[in-house]
Amino acid sequence: MFGYAEGAFTGARRSGMAGKIEAANHGTLFLDEIGEMPLDIQPHLLRVLEEGEIYRLGENAPREVSLRLLAATHRDLRADVADGRFSMDLYYRLAVTNIWIPPLHERKTDLPEMIEHWLSFSRERYGVSHAVFDDVAYECLLNYTWPGNVREMRNVIEGAVLMARDGIIKVAELPLEIDALAVSPGGVRDTASSGVVQRRADAVGSRSGRGFRPLGAGAR
């Protein structure tokens, strides 16, 4: 993140190397999971914010930088400050403007759009021309609490697209903790409808405007 100078360590480039902070000079730097930053590194980042300068590893002279910093974390940094796991000075320097993004289990109305986004992303990434969730699998995704939030959803959908057979993603392609939510409206595990769902999905595939939910689109 801070770069290094020539000869700073074995194998270092002769000309040294700029770090992420220098690369973002006069621009914006995004640091994800700032709460995981080691305590011994935090004072160096604080210097960047307070003094507008950095020291490359192995250098004694500072380099001036000017940038806008955006940081994200899933941790409660106030609690980490109280427990001594995060610098109080850095916390208050970062907390100029805070934006709280609720976890997925509190954003149920966002789930259909997010599922569609990651399904389209996965199909394009892996070159899969056709992959849709059947109704049972789709309901599982809507009912799941997503403790791992967006990262978990992305991983689940990517894996499901890769495992899909004949372009239909069923509960069998979902992780066990999500598969366990596959129940019929009467509360009994639905094991008989998959074939019907697939046949109907094949019949309406290209006519499904949303792409990821071939059945019952108007009922939800």
User: Nearest 5°: phi and psi at 92?
Assistant: -70, -25
Please report the pLDDT score of residue 181 as a whole number: 76
CA angle centred on 194, ends 170 and 142, rounded to 5° = 50
CB atoms within 10 A of CB 118: 22
pTM of structure? 0.65
| Residue ranges, CATH 1.10.8.60, the chain | 104-180
The DSSP code sequence of 140-160 is HHHH---TTHHHHHHHHHHHH
pLDDT of residue 206: 35
Three-state secondary-structure class, residue 31: strand
Q: What is the largest CA-CA distance in the chain?
A: 71
Where does the chain hold its CATH 3.40.50.300 domain(s)? 20-95
- Other CB atoms within a 10 A radius of the CB of residue 131 amount to 24
Range 104-180: architecture per CATH? Orthogonal Bundle (1.10)
Contact yes or no for 213/133 (Cβ under 8 A): yes
Strands 53-54 and 63-64 turn out to be antiparallel
Closest CA to 157 of 193, 117, 194: 117
One-letter amino acid identity for 122?
Answer: S
Residues 89-132 pLDDT 10s? 999 999 999 999 999 999 999 999 999 999 999 999 999 989 99
Q: Give pLDDT, residue 118.
A: 97
CA atoms within 13 A on the CB side of 22: 16
CA–CA separation, 117 vs 34, rounded Å? 26
For residue 183, the model assigns a pLDDT of: 58
| pLDDT < 50 regions, the chain | 184-220
Pairing type for strands 168-169 and 132-133 reads parallel
The whole-angstrom distance between residue 162's C-alpha and the CA centroid of its chain comes to 19
CATH H superfamily, domain 20-95: P-loop containing nucleotide triphosphate hydrolases (3.40.50.300)
